[in-house]
Amino acid sequence: MKKKKVNIIAILSYGRSGTGLISSLFDGHRDISIFPDHITQNLYSFWDFYKKKDKNYIFKKFVEIYEILFEPKIKKNYFHKSVGIIGSAYQCGFCELGENKNIVINADKKKFIKYLKSFFLKKKFNRKNFFIAIHYAYNFSVFNKKKTNYIFYNLHVPSKKIFNEFLKDFPDAIFIQTLREPLSGMYSMFRAFNERSFFDGDYIFSIINMIKERGNYNFLNKKKLIYLKLENLHKDSARTIKLLCKKISVPFRSNLLKSTINGLKWHNEVGKTLRISGFSKKIINQNYEDYFWIKDDFIFYKFFREKYEQLSYKKKNYDFIFSKLIFYICLFLPFKIEVIQLKKKQNIKKLFNLFVCYLKIRFLIFKFINKPKKFKIN
């Protein structure tokens, strides 16, 4: 009898485009195994770091490093050499689950490890099987379900190396590329990360570069790449989710219209200006003027203009007489987000970093402004 193959569906991000929301919608689906949000996005880095160790040691380290999923005690973002920065349970909203926001995320560690040990009694211990096993084990530790037909994985913003490694393991995977209007996505990232200790000039540069470069996976088979706009998700929720389910061949169920973590109502991240569970047009109509001036919007739009066309977003009316001349003059003036960083109490090292990144951003814009990389969404 032929064994039934598990279907792998990966979620890709583009500038705070709702990957956490998507994960929370598919959380309670009985046919799907999924980790909350994008907590395990660096799973391949974890494997590379520990792959030479004994499997029982690896199980133990997974539970230890990803304690946010089992019994969260750390209230701040924390860094681990194997996977980088992991968000705090508090900031992710995992400590305020349920209707009354009084339930803390919890998965049974013993059941999780017990399932893994049982799984590998008959399976070869390798990266691909480890990936499948931990998804099943987490689902079992929360919902007491042993196997599902689908595994959803939040790849989020993978490096080229990790993306290729993932494709090696799962060449038949389907990818959901979430999208958001480019400038809105960028300003949302500025606001979200501005108060965090790691936010600096390098981070500003990385965000701008990411908005310019990401969202292009058209080298994949058209049938394996599905684009999902955050705007459609909030404007026409039921229709958008039903259409998505049809495209990825997942049975639609009514609980897909509810935002949950481990089956409990999720109220979104703590600290958000708009903390809303599930869908709301308010999310996509937010004002980010505290993080940009009109001349910044003009510069960034010109830089991202090809992206607006590629992703089929409405163009802005920034074409006027002498617009090209004004563009180059304004380019050398600081952006509002740079001024915000400059006003913070910075040491000499951070100030120098900010200046270097000021130059890097201008060079980046000069480099690409007349050399757009064209592609069209399917």
pLDDT of residue 216 exceeding 80:
no
Q: Is a pLDDT exceeding 50 seen at residue 1?
A: no
Full domain range(s) for residue 150: 7-180+219-283
**Range 246-264 average pLDDT:** 95
310, part of any domain: no
The stretch 264-283 carries a mean pLDDT of: 86
Q: What percent of the chain has pLDDT over 90?
A: 67
- Rounded mean pLDDT of 325-339? 94
**Predicted TM-score of the model (pTM):** 0.90
Number of domains in the chain: 1
List the single range of 292-301, 317-326, 365-374 with lowest mean pLDDT.
365-374
pLDDT at 347 over 90: no
| pLDDT tens-digit map of 62-71 | 999 999 999 8
**Residue 304 included in any domain:** no
* Lowest-pLDDT range of 25-39, 171-185, 211-225, 330-344: 211-225
Q: What's the chain's average pLDDT?
A: 90
- Dihedral of the alpha carbons of 300, 306, 307, 309, in degrees to the nearest 10: 130
Whether 197 is in a domain gets the answer no
Residue 37 lies in a domain: yes
CA torsion angle 355 360 361 362 (round to 10): 90
226 phi and psi, to 5 degrees? -120, 130
Identify which of 42-56, 75-89, 332-346 has the greatest average pLDDT.
42-56
Q: What is the C-alpha to C-alpha distance for residues 125 and 128, in angstroms, rounded to an integer?
A: 8
Q: So what's the pLDDT on residue 193?
A: 85
